[in-house]
Amino acid sequence: MIEFESVSKVYDGQRPALSNVTFKLAPGEMAFLTGHSGAGKSTLLRLLLGLEKASQGAVRVAGTDLASLNGEKLARYRRRVGVVFQDPNLEEDLTVFDNVALPLRIAGFKEADIPKRVNAALSRVDLSDQAMTSPRVLSGGQQQRVGIARAIVHRPALVVADEPTGNLDPELSARVMRMFTQFQQLGVTILVATHERAVVESLPFRHLTIERGRLVSDDVGASR
């Protein structure tokens, strides 16, 4: 599903943020990406989302080299990926329902099909009863779950998360991680960047570690 081939990324006039990173992620596989602050986790995910272009090497998703995508094609690619951020980045002017419906509206789903999908996504994250409230009144953990519902509402084949539990207490972050593992059981390919090594090591999933832009360990985990 995901293929990094000797990927390097150098931001203008700085030491490489990623150097010579190579790994593959099979369809339906779940992997965690850990590393210290500044190690290059976000850079790797930004490459995967086509927000940055690799300085060297190739990033391929489902066989397509992302470097070959531009404009409308890149936008169409992103519509098939789900993204979760550390800061859930919700639109405060919209209700929870409309926030979750956003990817569907962007992708041009028929208005009649939207409620069913949104409600399904909200029930996956246990927020069915908050659909009509404003994100402003939700707790941090609830907001993050809205962000997750938004990332999966259009049933993407690939979900990418950058520190989805960075702002949550340990109990909540364990709960969020459990949600991701549930999506994996539905066949979604998932890559989660985090610096909570402890949580990751307790879970039976693949675990990639980067240090200073280099992939230093690839622990396949108990799932395979």
Partner 1 sequence: MRWLLDHQSAFSEAMKRTRDRMTQFIVVICLLGVLLAIPGWLGQIWLGMASLVPSDAVQSEALVFLERDLDLESRIDLERSLEDQAVIDAITFIPKSEALDALSASDGLSQMTVLRDDNPLPDALRVRFSFVGDEAGEAAVIDGLRSDQRVMSLRYYPSARVQYASLVEMLGLLGLGLSMLTILGVLMAVFLVSAADVVDDRRRIELYTLLGASNGFIKRPYLYRATLLGLLSGLVACVVIFGLNTVLSSVLASNLEALDPELGSIPMDGRILITVAVVAIVASWIGAERAVHRRLHALH
Residue 217 is classified by DSSP as E
Interface residue with ligand ATP, options 7, 19, 21, 35 (CB under 6 A): 35
Phi-psi region of 60 (alpha: psi -120 to 50; beta: other; left: phi over 0): beta
Looking from the CA of 153 toward its CB, the CA atoms found within 13 Å total 31
CB of 41 to Mg ion, least distance (A): 5
| H-run or E-run covering 175 | helix 170-185
Binding region for partner 1 (CB under 8 A): 49, 51, 71-72, 74-81, 83, 89, 91, 93, 102-103, 105-108, 150
Q: Which of 19, 42, 142, 143 binds Mg ion (CB under 5 A)?
A: 42
Q: How far is the CB of 39 from ligand ATP (least distance, A)?
A: 4
- Count of residues that interact with Mg ion, criterion CB under 5 A: 1
Cβ atoms of 99 and 135 within 8 Å: the answer is: yes
Number of residues that bind ligand ATP (CB under 6 A): 12
79 binds, among partner 1, Mg ion, ligand ATP, none (CB under 5 to 8 A by kind): partner 1
Of 42 and 173, CB closest to Mg ion:
42
Structure tokens at 65: 């080299």
What's the closest the beta carbon of residue 212 comes to ligand ATP, in angstroms? Answer: 9
When the beta carbons of 88 and 205 are compared against partner 1, the nearer one is: 88
Specify the stretch interacting with ligand ATP by CB under 6 A; choose among 40-48, 77-85, 91-99, 110-118. Answer: 40-48
Nearer to ligand ATP, 38 or 115 (CB): 38
Give CA–CA dist 47/168, Å, rounded: 26
| Sequence-separated (6 or more) residues with CB below 8 Å from residue 191 | 2, 25, 30, 31, 32, 33, 45, 48, 158, 159, 160, 161
Q: Which amino acid is at 204?
A: P
- The nearest distance, CB 103 to partner 1, in angstroms, is 5
- Name which of 69, 37, 83 is nearest 191 in CA terms: 83
Asked whether position 175 contacts ligand ATP by CB under 6 A, the answer is no
